[in-house]
């Protein structure tokens, strides 16, 4: 009996590469990684599994309908997990068109390729097939001081990025309702962990601190996010794929609501312990904190109600905020070469998303 095949789009990205590593190391699935390899895609993140005979890489843009159809024909996936997306909010402010192209048009191309492929499957395989769309809690907009996002929260996206992801969520739901395509959607909170592109808060703070550079915090730093360790997210995604109900949405959160300022101070404290030889004669890394003009349309608070996935599917995060952040700092300290190669590319740690 052949191993089941999973098609992972965006498998060279941050969350995608964590998922691919998890699938190869923990399961017996055959994994086809379809990735365009933009600035945020990095095959080095897949080094531990790249030589495994159950792993295949296809460099393909999800907007290329002919190539996507070829991948379906050649690899015959039993399910697809769709993570390919433009995902950096600041970049969406600078250039929203790329987000519409990839996140909206690309998802449409993928859905149509999946539908054509699914329609031709034998009945038993049609029933088992799944299209799992991985999305974000940012589609729900901004919360006040109280309350949590649930699977029934209204969509109120406030950035070009979240608007494009909201659109892709709606399309997946529509393809399920209109065509019967067996689909699931997951909306997750802020991920952090190894191999994250350094535009994001956690790696940017770690790398800037080690270099003695300012640690930029938007506004007062009082924006609240729920923080989810990326390996916990990978476990949740697999659980949803294997045991979630078709047509359902599942919110995935880490039970770790922290302000951005709390996150930065936590990272500084961990670095004080692990790298006490501070750069530039400072006494503590916290001294590098610099408050900068807030991001346009910056949502104040996100918080996830993850009770549905916990009660229905039995998933819970394994990492606490402190253990996950410590593991993350350790990874960046031990993988300086990976970091340097990323920073040698087009991104230099500059501020993005400033409206002139």
DSSP characters for 212-280?
T--EEEETTS--EEEEEEHHHHHHHHHHHHHHSPTT-EEEE--S-EEEHHHHHHHHHHHHHHH--S-GG
pLDDT for position 197: 84
- Cα(105)–Cα(99) distance, integer angstroms: 9
The pLDDT tens digits of the residues spanning 182-198 come to 999 999 999 999 999 88
Given CA atoms 267, 270, 275, 280 in this order, what sign does their dihedral have? positive
pTM over 0.85: yes
> What is the chain's mean pLDDT, rounded?
93
Residue 99, beta-bridge partner list: none
pLDDT for position 1: 60
Does residue 252 come out as left (phi exceeding 0), alpha (psi in the -120 to 50 range) or beta?
Answer: beta
Q: What are phi and psi of 320, to 5 degrees?
A: -80, 170
The pLDDT tens digits of the residues spanning 312-327 come to 999 999 999 999 999 9
- pLDDT category, 347, cuts 50, 70, 90? very low
Q: Where are the alpha helices (DSSP H) in the chain?
A: 14-26, 65-75, 89-94, 96-99, 107-119, 123-128, 160-179, 201-210, 230-243, 260-274, 307-313, 321-334, 336-343
Whether residue 68 contacts residue 109, with contact meaning beta carbons closer than 8 Å, is answered with yes
Whether residue 17 contacts residue 42, with contact meaning beta carbons closer than 8 Å, is answered with yes
Q: DSSP secondary-structure letter at 315?
A: -
- Annotate 243-269 with b (16+ C-beta within 10 A) or e (fewer): ebeeebbbbbbbbbbbbbbbbbbbbbb
Residue 85 has pLDDT above 80, yes or no: yes
The pLDDT tens digits of the residues spanning 238-265 come to 999 999 999 999 999 998 999 999 999 9
Within 8 A by CB and 6+ apart from 154, the residues are 140, 141
- Residues with active-site annotation: 137-138, 161
Rank 29-43, 44-58, 137-151 by mean pLDDT and report only the highest.
44-58
CATH level 3 topology of 5-194+227-258+299-319: Rossmann fold (3.40.50)
Whether residue 79 contacts residue 131, with contact meaning beta carbons closer than 8 Å, is answered with yes
More confident residue, 296 or 72: 72
């Amino acid at each position: 009996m052949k191993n089941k095949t999973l098609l992972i789009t965006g498998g060279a990205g941050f969350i995608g590469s964590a998922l691919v590593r998890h699938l190869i190391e923990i399961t017996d699935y055959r994994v086809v990684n379809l990735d365009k390899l933009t600035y945020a895609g990095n095959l080095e993140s897949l080094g531990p599994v790249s030589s495994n005979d159950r792993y295949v890489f296809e460099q393909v843009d999800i907007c290329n309908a002919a190539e996507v159809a070829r991948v379906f024909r050649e690899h015959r996936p039993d399910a697809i997990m769709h993570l390919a997306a433009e995902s950096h909010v600041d970049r969406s402010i600078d250039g929203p068109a790329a987000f519409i192209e990839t996140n909206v048009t690309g998802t449409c191309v993928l859905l149509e390729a999946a539908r054509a492929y699914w329609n031709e499957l034998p009945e038993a395989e049609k029933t088992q097939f799944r299209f799992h769309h991985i999305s974000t809690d940012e589609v729900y907009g901004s919360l006040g001081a109280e309350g949590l996002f649930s699977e029934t929260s209204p969509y109120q996206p406030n950035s070009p990025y979240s608007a494009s992801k909201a659109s892709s969520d709606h399309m997946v739901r529509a393809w399920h309702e209109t065509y019967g395509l067996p689909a699931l959607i997951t909306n997750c909170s802020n991920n952090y962990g190894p191999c994250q592109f350094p535009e994001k808060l956690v790696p940017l703070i770690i790398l800037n601190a080690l270099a003695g550079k300012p640690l930029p915090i938007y506004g007062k730093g009082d924006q609240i996010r729920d923080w989810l360790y990326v390996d916990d997210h990978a476990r949740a995604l697999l659980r949803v794929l294997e045991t979630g109900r078709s047509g359902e949405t599942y919110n995935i959160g880490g039970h770790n609501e922290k302000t951005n300022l709390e996150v930065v101070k936590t990272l500084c404290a961990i670095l004080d312990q692990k790298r006490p030889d501070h750069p530039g004669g400072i006494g503590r890394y916290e001294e590098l904190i610099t408050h900068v003009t807030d991001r346009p349309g910056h949502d104040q608070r996100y918080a996830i109600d993850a009770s549905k996935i916990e009660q229905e599917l039995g998933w819970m995060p394994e990492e606490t905020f402190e253990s996950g952040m410590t593991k993350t700092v350790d990874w960046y300290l031990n993988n300086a070469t990976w970091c340097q190669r990323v920073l040698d590319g087009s991104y230099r740690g500059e501020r993005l998303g400033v409206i002139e």
